[in-house]
Amino acid sequence: MATASSTTTPTPEATPPVRQNSPVRWARDNLFSSAWNTVLTLVMAPLLAWVVIRFLRFVFVTARWDIIEANLTLLMIGLYPRGELSRLWVAVAGMTVAIGLGAGITAATARETAIAAGRDVTPGVRDRIQRAGPPLLLLLVLVVFVRTALPILLLAGVVAAGAAAFLLGRRVPARLRGKLNVLAVVGILAALWSISAFGGVPRSAWGGLLLTAYYTIGALLLAFPIGVALALGRRSTLPAVRVGCGIFIEFFRGSPLIALLFVGWLILPFFLPPGFPTPNLVTRALIIFTLFTSAYIAEIVRGGLQSVPRGQREAAQALGLSPWKQTRLVILPQALRSVIPALVGQAISLFKDTTLVLIIGQLELLGAAQATTQQERFLGQGYIIEVLVFISLIYWVGSYWMSRESQRLETRLGVGTR
């Protein structure tokens, strides 16, 4: 009995699979996914490469960074007395610890919320690099321009204290988080206040990045509760409260910030009662920033309140909650969760709008940068480009960091997914 021999046909060599997250797969999906994208990539890639090469050549070859090295202290703290730097370092350390503690508590709460919703919240290597890369780059740049070892050691100590506070905040029990969050906010305000308290340095002597951070942090901390109260007041059933909050919001939203700063500078003292101490110019500018920002925050929060379904309030009423508890425990958390991007966008806008105080004679970061180029040693030599590149890095790192933390918080809270 004959058996038929089976013949096998040769198969072509299998193409090695492309990993889903590999650079080749990413380039294929994003740069060469169609004929139009391929043409754009081939046209823009050489242009972008030329821009990057020119920029790197400027940074590492042609730029004259001696103006930054000679004026780093001026850019950081302005005309702050050099003999009082120890007070400033203590305040910066206290503020860093408070911010780290609050960030750790927020991260722990968001992580538990995400885990309860069944979402993976483990950050990848790319996410860690995107979050930590720009701040570390700025620290590296500052270290390069520092001439002595003591500021580097103090800076390392401040960073270590902030990291330890963050890790501690992530381990705080849930029942204590609310109280410690309030303590963290109080700690930030106390750190800012301690610089000028007890015979310290008056705020009129502050400048540079210190003054910019003071305006940004102080105005945000003061404007947020005012804005939330205005948003709730504008939805009140009491006509007087509703109309009053509406007039306040529309007035500040309809007025240019620079005009309001001039009002605080020139006109505000005339509205004070006789004998009432006139606030210094820094305090007046902080008041204007606070009121202006609170009006925008109020409208952002009001939009979030309108996005909460009516059934949520009805469910809270069915549980027998009082109107205050309905708002505090049910409505407001959902409203704030849905407007995180807009709130962070307003914070970034405030951070950059602090440059306007230069017009009223304040030596904040941009003002300090301008003052460096007016020194006799650097006058008329075209150093403005190097100075602007340096402060642009600071503004970009601050804005990028706030944006990335906002996206991370949105991911953990599941904004847009449920």
Encode pLDDT of 110-122 as tens digits.
777 777 767 666 6
pLDDT confidence of 3, banded at 50, 70, 90? very low
C-alpha closest to that of 291 among 255, 267, 325, 344: 255
Please report, rounded to a whole number, the percentage of residues in the chain having pLDDT higher than 70: 91
The token duo for 185 is: 């906010």
Q: Is the pLDDT of residue 126 over 60?
A: yes
pLDDT grade for 327, boundaries at 50, 70 and 90: confident
Asked if 233 contacts 242 with a C-beta cutoff of 8 angstroms, the reply is: yes
The CATH superfamily of 48-80+206-383 is MetI-like (1.10.3720.10)
The token pair at 388 is 């602007």
Over the stretch 278-295, which tens digit does the pLDDT of each residue have?
888 999 999 999 999 999
Q: Cβ(339)–Cβ(303) under 8 Å?
A: yes
- Model confidence pLDDT, tens digit, residues 49-90: 999 999 999 999 999 999 999 999 999 999 888 888 888 898
346-404 pLDDT, tens digit per residue, is 999 999 999 999 998 888 999 999 999 998 888 888 899 999 999 999 999 999 988 88
Long-range contacts of 173-178 (CB under 8 A, 24+ apart): 174/109, 174/112, 177/105, 177/108, 177/109
Lowest mean pLDDT among 156-160, 228-232, 267-271: 267-271
With cut-offs at 50, 70 and 90, classify the pLDDT of residue 5. Answer: very low
pLDDT confidence of 170, banded at 50, 70, 90? confident
The domains of the chain are located at 48-80+206-383, 81-200
**Residue 228: band (very low, low, confident or very high) from pLDDT cuts 50, 70, 90:** very high
Number of neighbouring beta carbons within 10 Å of residue 416: 9
Maximal C-alpha separation, the chain = 124
pLDDT in tens, 6-37: 445 555 555 555 455 677 888 888 888 888 88
- The model's confidence at residue 2, banded by pLDDT at 50, 70 and 90, is very low
Q: Please state the separation of Cα 391 from the chain's center in Å.
A: 16
Lowest mean pLDDT among 85-89, 112-116, 149-153, 159-163: 112-116
The DSSP symbol for 273 reads P
**Per-residue pLDDT, 334:** 87
- Give Cα separations from 164 to 96, 169, 234, 240, 398 (angstroms): 10, 9, 41, 48, 21
Arithmetic mean of pLDDT, 218-228: 93
pLDDT, averaged across the chain:
85
Determine the pLDDT at residue 56. 92
Give dist(CA 195, CA 90) in Å, integer. 9
Determine the pLDDT at residue 368: 92
Query: Quick one: which H or E segment has residue 297?
Result: helix 281-307
